[in-house]
């Protein structure tokens, strides 16, 4: 294994825009939920005339769908990701709309048969319900409670209150309060393994909300501790949580 400085230096210099995780190949792994979101998404998008993908990132998930509906729109709130999504999805006729937290989406009421999202930042149920046509569906895979907190708490210490956030039952209640009927909810807990410290640095640079203000210098001691264990052949193990939600606007 290369030196600590070489691994973290490489990770600090690497591109973290978009929502692809190919940089981690051979360095970290994560189990996938059993339902196969990408395949189910492709089926649903192929069966509607209009759809909106919320928090699309760099458009990587949509780009993998073989057949998109005639009207396909995506939203993204981080400008570098929005620009990346335009380059990737524009040739396929997808309109990418930049959004701002707390502001009304610049999209018409009842515009879409289907709203989708893979790992929305914070679902805005009122907006989702507003842009869905009557009878339209919401189909999404959400990050669940306590996801990857083994890694987060390695750096920040115990965060018992924060672990309770993103609970699927609370999200079901919020969705139904906004006017949706939740028809299906599935949960999964998936093993993650990090095999070198560079994979940790890259991930924390990409998922900036995990350890706010993360930098190698600020958290060097914690990174060194992980590096020592990994050099002994012990990967760092954490668990992601996910839930699949299917809802309908009445």
Contact 98, 77 (CB under 8 A): yes
Q: What is the pLDDT of residue 20?
A: 82
Contact 223, 201 (CB under 8 A): yes
CATH 2.40.50.100 assigned to domain 4-249? The reply is no
**Token pair of 141 as six digits:** 């895979």
Q: What is the pLDDT of residue 93?
A: 97
Percent of the chain with pLDDT over 90: 94
CB atoms within 10 A of CB 53: 30
CB atoms within 10 A of CB 249: 21
19 pLDDT more than 80: no
Show me where the domains of the chain are located.
4-249
pLDDT bucket at 51, cuts 50 / 70 / 90 = very high
User: In sequence order, what are the residues at sequence separation of 6 or more whose Cβ sits closer than 8 angstroms to the Cβ of residue 88?
Assistant: 58, 59, 60, 63
37 pLDDT more than 80: yes
SS3 of 111, please?
coil
pLDDT tens, position by position, 131-175:
999 999 999 999 999 999 999 999 999 999 889 889 999 999 999
């Amino acid at each position: 294994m290369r030196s600590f400085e070489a691994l973290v230096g490489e990770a600090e210099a690497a591109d973290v825009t978009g929502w692809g995780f190919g940089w981690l190949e051979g360095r970290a792994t994560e189990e996938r939920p059993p339902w196969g979101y990408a395949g189910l998404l492709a089926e649903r998008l192929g069966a509607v005339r209009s759809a909106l993908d919320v928090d699309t990132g760099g458009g990587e998930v949509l780009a993998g769908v073989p057949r998109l509906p005639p009207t396909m729109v995506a939203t993204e709130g981080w400008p570098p990701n929005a620009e990346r999504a335009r380059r990737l999805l524009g040739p396929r006729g997808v309109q990418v709309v930049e959004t701002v937290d707390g502001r009304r989406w610049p999209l018409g009421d009842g515009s879409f048969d289907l709203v989708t999202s893979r790992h929305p930042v914070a679902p805005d149920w009122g907006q989702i319900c507003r842009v869905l046509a009557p009878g339209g569906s919401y189909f999404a895979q959400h990050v669940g409670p306590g996801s990857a907190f083994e890694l987060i708490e390695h750096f920040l210490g115990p965060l018992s209150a924060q672990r309770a956030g993103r609970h699927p039952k609370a999200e079901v209640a919020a969705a139904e309060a906004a006017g949706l009927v939740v028809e299906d909810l599935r949960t999964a807990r998936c093993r993650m393994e990090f095999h070198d410290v560079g994979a940790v640095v890259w991930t924390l640079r990409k998922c900036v909300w995990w350890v706010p203000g993360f930098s190698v210098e600020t958290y060097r001691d914690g990174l060194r501790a992980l590096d020592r264990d990994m050099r002994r052949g012990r990967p760092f193990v954490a668990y992601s949580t996910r839930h699949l939600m299917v809802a309908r606007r009445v």
